Chains A and B, each alone.
Chain A
Amino acid sequence: GAGVSQSPSNKVTEKGKDVELRCDPISGHTALYWYRQSLGQGLEFLIYFQGNSAPDKSGLPSDRFSAERTGGSVSTLTIQRTQQEDSAVYLCASSLAPNDNYGYTFGSGTRLTVV
């Protein structure tokens, strides 16, 4: 597609439930990133994928968070046993390659609300 697509755009879930957030990067972009942004806050790095390399998971806040990227394209961010503090906008971005010195293209995000 023309841009980075994220789904769903909004998700309301009950505390303790698991959620899956999806990201479709721009075709041909080998690097994919997940960030989250709590209300009124800056962007917090979560995880980074590059090709078939092991992902950089250094930003994941707890072991309830995990992410996969299948076939080097679509990525899914999973949050298990959601907590109210997980409420945020989850943003996905992609780029041609990590060291291409181009900017990232971000999706519009998934707004997660845990009630």
Chain B
Amino acid sequence: DAKTTQPPSMDCAEGRAANLPCNHSTISGNEYVYWYRQIHSQGPQYIIHGLKNNETNEMASLIITEDRKSSTLILPHATLRDTAVYYCIVRKTGGFKTIFGAGTRLFVKA
């Protein structure tokens, strides 16, 4: 599976949009981009995934560049409860395991 690069940490003001970047320059055509987050002392939680089109659900939006070499997870109105480690992962269609990197530690501040 392709590797991803994320900033180790980011800050965001409560109520503002949090934009978390991810680089996956070696992604191949059959690899999806997934995002998970892990709130302190809990197991990771699936957020969203996409192939090449932008995706939106009740939690977040995923913007994937046209060349698919990078993506951005957007939390439109961050709250204090969104403070967590956010993992960006690429995974093959039919891939059998997900390898988690170090992620981005997002601090949402009041």
Residues of A that sit less than 8 Å from B by CB: 4, 31, 33, 35, 42-43, 45, 48, 50, 56, 59, 91, 93, 98-99, 101-109
Contact status B94-A99, CB under 8 Å? yes
Q: Mark B34-51, 1 if CB is under 8 A from A, else 0.
A: 101000001111110100
- Whether B98 pairs with A108 at a CB distance below 8 angstroms is no
Q: Are A42 and B103 within 8 A (Cβ)?
A: yes
Give chain A nearest CB distance to B40 CB in angstroms: 11
Does A50 lie within 8 Å of B96, measured CB to CB? yes
Partner of B97, one of A48, A106, A109: A48
Across the two chains, which residue of chain B brings its CB closest to A99? B94
Interface residue count on the B side (C-beta < 8 Å): 22
Q: Which residues of B contact A (CB under 8 A)?
A: 32, 34, 36, 42-47, 49, 87, 93-103
Given contacts A91-B43, A108-B43, contact A103 B34 (CB under 8 A): yes
Of A31, A98, A101, A106, the residue contacting B44 (CB under 8 A) is A106
Give complex CA distance A67, B43 in Å. 20
For residue A101, which residues in chain B have a CB less than 8 angstroms away from its CB? 32, 49, 93
Q: Nearest chain-B residue to A111 (Cβ)? A: B41
Q: Check B98–A104 contact: CB distance below 8 A.
A: yes
Q: Decide: B43 and A56 in contact? CB cutoff 8 A.
A: no
A27→B43 CA distance, assembly (Å):
19
